[in-house]
Structure 1
Amino acid sequence: MRNTRWVLRTLAGQPVAPPTDGGEPYLLLRADSAAEGNGACNRFRGRYTAPGPGQLTFGPLLSTRMACPALPTETAFVKALEQTRTYQISGDTLRLLGADQAPLARLEAVYLH
C-alpha cells in the first residue's frame, strides 16, 4: 500500500472520467505517514494513520485552491478520503471504505517504468 501511486478509478461506485485538463486524481501514501496526491485540479497533502490491519484514516488535508471543470470530482475524492476508516487490497486494487463498510473509492496501482 505504501510508496505506491494509487490512481482513482471510481467514487461511490461511479467511474471517474479521464482527465481532460487537469492532473489524474491519485493518492500516494508514504512510509513516513505522509499522504499526498492530486484531486484532479489541485495537489493535496496531509497525514494518515493505519493503526491495525485493514484500518486507515486521514488527518486534515491541505490543498492548493485552483478552479477547474473537474472540481466536483476533486471535492468528492477529498471527502471520500476524509470518510475512510478501513481499506481492502486485492492485487493492484485498493478499496477505501467508510465506517459502515460502504465503498467510497476504488484506486488502481500504477507503476512507473
Structure 2
Amino acid sequence: MKKSILIVVMAIAAAACSSTKTENKTDGTDTTSVQAQATTTVDLFDKEWKLKELNGKAIVLDTTFKKEPHLVFHKEKEQLSGNGGCNSFSGSYKLKDGNNIELSEGGATMMACPNLKIESEFFEVLKQVRSYRIENNSLLLDNEKKEAVAKLELSK
C-alpha cells in the first residue's frame, strides 16, 4: 500500500513539474503567452496601413484632407495602392530576401488640393523604401540605412 501511494505522489509531482516547465521559461516569462503572440503576428498583405509618421515626425492632418493617407499591399497581384490624403495612387512591389522590398511607381490622380505637403513628402519617402518591419500593429518602412522613413499603423 505504501508503495502505491508513493508512486501516485511521485506521478503527481512529476506532472506538476512538467506543467511548470511548459508554462514558465527560466527567466520567469510565460511561454504560453509568447506562443500566442507568435501565432497572432500581423502580416503585411491586404490590410490598410494608415500613415502616422514621416521621417520620424508625427503627421498632423488638417480638415482639407479628403482621406487619411494610407497604403495597401495586395498579395496576389504584388500591387500596392493607397491615398496620399488628396490623390489616390497605385504601383507594384517586389519582395526580396529577408524583409527587403522594392516599390515601383505606377500612377496617381492629379487633383488639386490646398495642402499637398504631407502627400508630396509621403510620395518621396516611398521612393526611398528598401525594407520593412512590422512591430505590433505598426509597419515601419526603412531606407537603405535601415532608418524608418515612414510609420504606418494597421487600420482598425
Q: Which protein has greater RCO, CA pairs closer than 8 Å, 6+ apart?
A: 1
- The percentage of aligned residue pairs carrying the same residue is 31
What displacement does 1:9 show? 0.0
Partner deviation per Cα, 1:35-66 (whole Å, 9 max, x = no partner):
00000110000101112221112112310011
Q: Which residue of 1 aligns with 2:99?
A: 54
Give 1 or 2: higher helix fraction. 2
**Unaligned stretches of 5+ in structure 2?**
1-43
Question: 3-state DSSP class of the match of 1:82?
Answer: helix
- Counterpart-to-counterpart distance in 2, 1:95 and 1:110: 14
Q: Which moved more, 1:87-96 or 1:17-26?
A: 17-26
Distance 2:67 2:78 in 1: 23
TM-score (norm 1): 0.92
Letter in 2 for 1:45: S
**Within 2, Cα distance between the matches of 1:18 and 1:75?**
13
Residue 36 of structure 1 corresponds to which residue in structure 2? 81
Counterpart Cα distance in 2 of 1:23 and 1:52: 33
Paired position in structure 2 for 1:72: 117
* Structure 1 unpaired stretches of 5+: none
Larger radius of gyration: 2
Name the amino acid aligned to 2:60: A
CA contact (8 A) 1:86 1:96 kept: yes
- How does the TM-score come out when normalised to structure 2? 0.68
Which structure has the highest strand share of the two?
1
Secondary structure at the residue paired with 2:61? coil
RMSD: 1.1
